[in-house]
Structure 1
Amino acid sequence: MADGTRRPGRPRSEAARLAILEATHDELVEHGYGGLTMERIAARAGVGKQTIYRWWRSKAEVALDSLLNVAAEGIPIPDEGDLGADLDVFLRHTFGMQGSEGPVLMGLLAQSLLDREFADVFRDRFLAGRRAALSEVLDHAVARGEIPAGTDLVLLQDMVYGVLWYRLLFRHAPLNDDTARDLASLIARSVRNGNNCTVRTV
């Protein structure tokens, strides 16, 4: 369930859970979010459909957990000792995932616009989780004294994910290593110079 509590019934089998998430990811890669069904997932994972429904309410929730697994494994929290370097590593991995996972992310975003309950789950589990990961990178820089006191860290996060979502949605420009490097450099220079757009006024 969205809050991490277990539904009534038999204890979750970790092997079955991982098989379902792996099958879901493979199905998403092959057929996209629109072609994903509980029947396909169950057949590929070698489990009954009711096994899936015991732990997830919808294909959107299974797909979300599959995406969370990929993000957790594929996007590190770097600590290179320098904000620009940390952001470069974090953003290269984040943007690099969009080639394979971008269509899934778009499908989940579309689902969140149609389903208010899933929108809350998507925001609280995926969006908040990715922002928390970036916040950890920024907190390292704050501790090193690279980010001045009073800097609006929420706005910095919006700058990063605003670029990601806008380019992912409209595809007017690439999301690649060059984008990651340029954005990391821009943000590092901005906070180093105490730019008014990132520092709160009292």
Structure 2
Amino acid sequence: MNATDPQPGPARPHTGRRRNEAAHRAILDAALRLLAESDGTPVTIDAIARTAGVGKQTVYRWWPSKGAVLLDALSDRADQDVAGPDTGDLRADLRAFVATTFDAARRDTSASALRALVREAARDPHLADLMQTFTATRRAALRELLTRGRERGQLPEGADLDLIVDQVYGVFWYRFLLGHAPLDADAADRLAESLVTGAR
């Protein structure tokens, strides 16, 4: 290259990954918001793409269906909101898990989205499958926490972990859907204490 040849410009930063991450996040946020605001109106891929500011093909690049997007959006929000600590103290870990689960369900978007999903799942088999998958992932996260406690000897070897999981989510869904009592920190503390003490 001689002195008169044009000099190469500075290397441009690679922004494709950042754009992809931003689009992915926008789609998840849009899906959750639309579900929360749906009021019985079906959420569509078109609506999700339009709200996220992307094309439909961008959505289909990552998810095969509307249900897959909604499942990812709900699971992603739950992973963000619900603590899954491993402090070595089962009582403290269970209390944190239950408290953050209860707290997340009191937030407007999460609560509205969950209620919409429950309502729609009653008449849409595809969404009923989605609901089952979502609840199974949350149950698995709690069961893993309990398994660690049992392995450390903080629960008896014969403790029925599935029954403990049922009790946590039984209280959660009963109070969430019927609203007869609060899902607050005090309820979370009392439930965690009762379950650990009872299992012993």
TM-score (norm 1): 0.77
- Alignment of 1:171 with 2:179, yes or no, is yes
From 152, 161, 170, give the equivalent of 2:169. 161
Deviations 1:60-99 (A, max 9, x none): 4433221111111221211232222111111111110001
Q: Secondary structure of 2:156's partner?
A: coil
- Alignment of 1:111 with 2:117, yes or no, is no
- 5 Å matches for 1:54-73? 55-58=63-66, 60-73=67-80
Partner in structure 1 of residue 140 of structure 2 = 132
Q: Name the CA shift for 1:158/1:120 in 2 (closer, same or farther; >3 Å).
A: same
What value does the CA root-mean-square deviation take over the aligned residues? 2.2
- Alignment of 1:121 with 2:127, yes or no, is no
Contact 1:87 / 1:184 at 8 angstroms: preserved in 2?
yes
More deviation, 135-144/105-114:
105-114
Q: Name the CA shift for 1:33/1:91 in 2 (closer, same or farther; >3 Å).
A: farther
CA-CA distance at 1:39 after TM superposition: 4.1
Partner in structure 2 of residue 42 of structure 1 = 49
Partner in structure 1 of residue 104 of structure 2 = 97
Partner in structure 1 of residue 83 of structure 2 = 76
The residue identity in structure 1 corresponding to 2:55 is G
In structure 2, C-alpha distance between the alignment counterparts of 1:143 and 1:179, rounded to whole Å: 26
- Alignment of 1:187 with 2:180, yes or no, is no
The residue identity in structure 1 corresponding to 2:120 is Q
Partner in structure 2 of residue 88 of structure 1 = 95
Deviations 1:16-56 (A, max 9, x none): 33221122234445x25535554443223111235435624
Q: Name the CA shift for 1:190/1:81 in 2 (closer, same or farther; >3 Å).
A: same
> Gapped runs of 5+ residues in structure 2?
1-19
Deviations 1:171-194 (A, max 9, x none): 0001011110010011011012xx
Q: Secondary structure of 1:114's partner?
A: coil
The residue identity in structure 2 corresponding to 1:142 is R
In structure 1, C-alpha distance between the alignment counterparts of 2:38 and 2:124, rounded to whole Å: 19
CA-CA distance at 1:15 after TM superposition: 4.1
Contact 1:33 / 1:104 at 8 angstroms: preserved in 2?
no
Deviations 1:150-188 (A, max 9, x none): 111110100000000111110000101111001001101
In structure 1, C-alpha distance between the alignment counterparts of 2:54 and 2:194, rounded to whole Å: 49
Contact 2:71 / 2:130 at 8 angstroms: preserved in 1?
no
Contact 1:113 / 1:119 at 8 angstroms: preserved in 2?
yes
Count of aligned residue pairs for this structure pair: 177
In structure 1, C-alpha distance between the alignment counterparts of 2:80 and 2:55, rounded to whole Å: 27
The residue identity in structure 2 corresponding to 1:116 is P
In structure 2, C-alpha distance between the alignment counterparts of 1:107 and 1:182, rounded to whole Å: 29
- Alignment of 1:16 with 2:23, yes or no, is yes
